[in-house]
A = this chain, B = another copy of it.
Amino acid sequence: MPQASPNAAGRLPDASPWDGIAERLRASGLRWTPQRRTLVDVLREHEGHVTATELIARCRERDQTTTPSTVYRTLDVLEDFGLVKHGHGPGGREEYHVLPDQVHGHLHCMACGATWEIRPETGAAIVDALAADLGFAVDLSHVTISGRCRVCRD
């Protein structure tokens, strides 16, 4: 019998957005496969921003037979479920944000390569400015703005 945990009596410990992902997929007529499990395992321990290439590499560490096309397709599915969001770095390469708490855009420093999230208020300012101007409805989650961060702008 396992030792009693501080999280007593079988109650949910700390719920993760990944919990029940298998069931949620099946509920939509989709399937829970070993390949998807591998990717979700990788994502589960990787909050923040990652490139698709990095994710493929991490999957391959766990399963040597990992195929890029399968990973890309699974990322698309997970994006439909809101578990990841992708944007594009300054080179146009895909960057995934795991578990986006809320819709937000990204900043990328061309000098040091670092990435930040645009804060909600600042994002709202951008959305408002473009709505007022051209009536354009910004998809903030896909916005990556490049430039130079406070440290790198000389």
Contact = CB atoms under 8 A, between A and B. Distances in A.
Interface of A: 88, 90, 92-94, 107, 109-110, 116, 118-119, 121-122, 125-126, 129-130, 133-139, 142-143, 145-150, 153
Contacts of A136: 107, 109, 116, 145, 147-150, 153
24 contacts: A88-B92, A90-B142, A107-B136, A110-B139, A118-B130, A119-B133, A119-B134, A122-B130, A122-B133, A126-B126, A126-B129, A130-B147, A134-B149, A134-B150, A135-B149, A135-B150, A136-B148, A136-B149, A136-B150, A136-B153, A137-B147, A137-B149, A139-B146, A139-B148
A122 to B, nearest CB: 4
